[in-house]
Amino acid sequence: MTESKNDFRIEVCANSVDSGVEAQKGGAARIELCAGIPEGGTTPSYGEILTATQKLSLAVNVIIRPRGGDFLYSENEINAMKADIRMCKELGVHGVVFGCLTKEGDIDVKLCSELKKEAGTLSTTFHRAFDVCRDPHKALEQIIDMGFDRILTSGQRATAMEGSALIAELVQKADGRIIILPGSGVNEDNIAELYKITGAHEFHMSARHRIDSGMVYRNENVSMGGTVTISEFSRDLTYDKRVRDSLTNLLAAAGKN
């Protein structure tokens, strides 16, 4: 592990390089670069990853997830994940984020170890596949044994606040052997309370706001999602002020201001 347990850091789930720029302006230590946010995050494109490494000075972690849905992967999906990890190494990212389960709901130690080996010296985060595993306490030890740097978790609940009791247990049991990274629903209004409850030192958030499209001509009769209706004339972008306010509130709660 490279971070001290006394460090306080915010990781931003960035849905684009533009969001990454805002995260950096707001004082984030790291981004998790993702596409497919409505699906919980999928691997972004080569171009998006390359541009992020060129434009950003903060650490860039990339999610390695070929699709939404469960975390039980086919041979073709596994091959794609390994290829994406190799691509990330070539592009010089800071780390990769992945997680795999068996059909019984346990950590797929064999497959995760293979992906970890593929990652080499890259930082590795086990993502929220952890939140749907069968036994989080057993999983914690397995993930530590494999050498992951952190676990992203909402405490097996919909939000980190709802799962804060389990997160606090995980932080205590980890005892500095791995970073427990609370995520899901973390914002500037609850980050101080989450710190006080859990004792976590790193937090994962999106800090987004809705911005209007610059399009003047708008055909409102067509949805690019077909039967899935999503606004074509607005998008969510990380807002630097929300990141900055979150960091300020976290440090104040920790007595670092």
Q: Tens of pLDDT along 111-130? A: 999 999 999 999 999 999 99
Q: Token pair 């999602």 is at which residue?
A: 225
Model confidence pLDDT, tens digit, residues 188-229: 999 999 999 999 999 999 999 999 999 899 888 877 776 667
CA pair distance 76, 193, nearest whole angstrom? 43
pLDDT band at residue 4, thresholds of 50, 70 and 90? very low
- Looking at residue 224, its pLDDT comes to 78
Task: Report helix, strand or coil for 109.
Answer: helix
Q: What percent of the chain has pLDDT over 70?
A: 96
> What pTM value is reported for the model?
0.93
pLDDT for 44 beyond 50: yes
- Looking at residue 1, its pLDDT comes to 35
Task: Report helix, strand or coil for 221.
Answer: coil
CA pair distance 44, 65, nearest whole angstrom? 9
Task: Report helix, strand or coil for 151.
Answer: strand
pLDDT for 141 beyond 50: yes
Q: Is pLDDT larger for residue 6 or for residue 74?
A: 74
pLDDT band at residue 94, thresholds of 50, 70 and 90? very high
- In Å, how far from its chain's centre is CA 18? 17
Q: Return the exposure string of 180-216: e unless at least 16 CB atoms fall within 10 Å of the residue's CB, then b.
A: bbbbbbbbbebbbebbebbebbbbbbbbbeeeeeeee
**Would you say 112 and 78 are in contact if contact means Cβ atoms under 8 Å apart?**
no
pLDDT for 81 beyond 90: yes
- Looking at residue 3, its pLDDT comes to 42
- Looking at residue 226, its pLDDT comes to 66
What are the start-end ranges of the E strands in 160-201?
179-182
- Looking at residue 236, its pLDDT comes to 92
